[in-house]
Chain A
Amino acid sequence: MLTTVVGHYPKIPNRPRPARLRQAIARYERGEISREELARIEDEVTIEVIQEQVEAGIDIVSDGQIRWEDDQTYIARRLHGFAINGLVRYLDTNTYFRQPVVRGQVRHPGEPFLVRDWRFAQEHSPRPVKAIVTGPVTLARLSQDESYGSHERLVMALAEALAPEVKALAEAGAPIVQISEPLILWHPEDLPLLRRALATMLAGVACETALYTWFGSIERIYPQVLELPVTTFGVDLVSQPRNWQVLGQHPFPADRKLAAGIVDGRNTRMEQVEEIVAAVRHLSRIVPPDRLYLNPSCGLEYLPREVAQAKLQRLAEGARAARQQLGVEA
């Protein structure tokens, strides 16, 4: 029963700590510092947020996606075939991202673009670092297609373009590759397509893989989603409390793991340790603890930095208390 995170982590702390990355980006945009100098600060902030996760007691951390402006454009800018358009709202949040536009054939650039990030993070982390890739359905659904004219062909092209990246991450030693696919919840009709896409994207990938969703109801994809060729299914149990019932209605297969989002990544209200223990107790009736991950309901950038770390601390505390009470080992 390990604790982990879903992806991003707030990029800047609050006063009196300095907002180094915000200042560096502003200076870079004004032409006052070089791309290399900005990259150096991104690296330093990455180390800082890994330390914060480790200090909080999280077992499997991420690099905080400090270099990512959002889940879509960090990938789209690095694949061939994309341009980047104006701001659009990200799902039901009050945050915005620049919409990728598919202008040509989507292709991998040849050199891996996430491996250096992962390797850097792992070198600076005493805990395993998971790699994160936005999934093909989510990328396709949140982009504007001016090239393929067929959602299906675009998704399959994205899967082919991302396959070398996932493979490179696994070969570099990433213990887990997380595929972020929140949009499958809004487009359950894409599930058979996602299945084919993942078969392409994960062919020959030996490491553990996870498919994470957030914000929505899993009702229309569950339990079929467990047939996808990934080890772990990540579900947000906070935004949609009904997801608890849906999970409980079906037996959980013995060859799959569940990643349960039980700490609210979108609200500053702190969960109590007892709430977390109760959630784990409930979860342990659905899936045995050795196949259970505990994590926040989504990435943590919707929270101020200090609250994000406090939430992770509370999650780790709750997990410790639950292990004791249920008599399981970490």
Chain B
Amino acid sequence: MRLDTSLLRGRWTPLVIAIVVLAVLPVAGAPATWLLYLFLFFVYLAMANMWNLLAGYSGLICLSPAAFIGLGGYTLVIITWSGLPFYLGIIAGGIVAAIFAIIIAYPLFRMRGIYFAIGTLVVPAALQVVFLLWRPVGGELHGGGAGYMVKGLTGITTTDTYWMALAIAAISVFLMRVILNSKLGLGLAAIRDNDETAGSSGINVFRTKLYSFVIAAFVMGIAGGVFYTYQGYIEPNSAFNISWLMTLLMATVIGGEGIEDGPIIGAVIVVILHFLLAKYAGLSLLIQGVILVVVMLVVPQGIMGLIRGGGIHRSVRKLITGRR
């Protein structure tokens, strides 16, 4: 991947400053609720950036983020139950998710367009059943239930998990910038517009898609591991739940799909919504659904798209060229 560093210089300063400020917060005595909000924001941001990479930049509408996130979580469980330290579990989670992504990429990329979307929908559903039935470590649980506690977490403070989340979020932003300014990014843009003609201009479509798919899986796996380190337990229904997809969809759509800063605003709003709606736990999905529909119909380019004054959104381009 050749880097066009001239484009990057100067855009890094605000980011670095932000990271430093955020890193210092817990030590500076910021209230615990802030840290919690920010923790979730970092986790969602990392995942949303990756989802944006796939859907907004590679043209891959991936409905299976929960697969990578859940696998990250379960790898963490397996590693910690085997007595190994948790941070290995987190990294292994990313690796397992990435390997899984490579394996399913071969059948998945044969599927085009909507079939691909449905194929990715099947994956977490299947994994959910698998982990409902399979107990990779430990014995039968008393009282049923398929969940696990994460072991080896003694001595980890909220600050530690906070910093881990900040790290993966920062990495995701960094990755996005680097990828989008590289040859890989150009290839992805070409594929997003029309993957058949991209192939004929010499781009190895499969490999390019594979790179972004695997990178996304890796980061999501790690973010999942970080999340479950914080949460402390995992069970198949929520780990592979479609609500992960909903959250990421919300973040990218509200923020602006195919726009680099979109997920940042989107993740902020999602976290705010999360806490606003905590009181109305029953209604939160409903409200999210309504917001999703309204945003798609009224402001499809997302908030960042709106601010940028119609930053080139794929759909607008499609409307003009008439391609559906």
- A and B associate: no
Q: Give the B-binding residues of A (Cβ under 8 A).
A: none
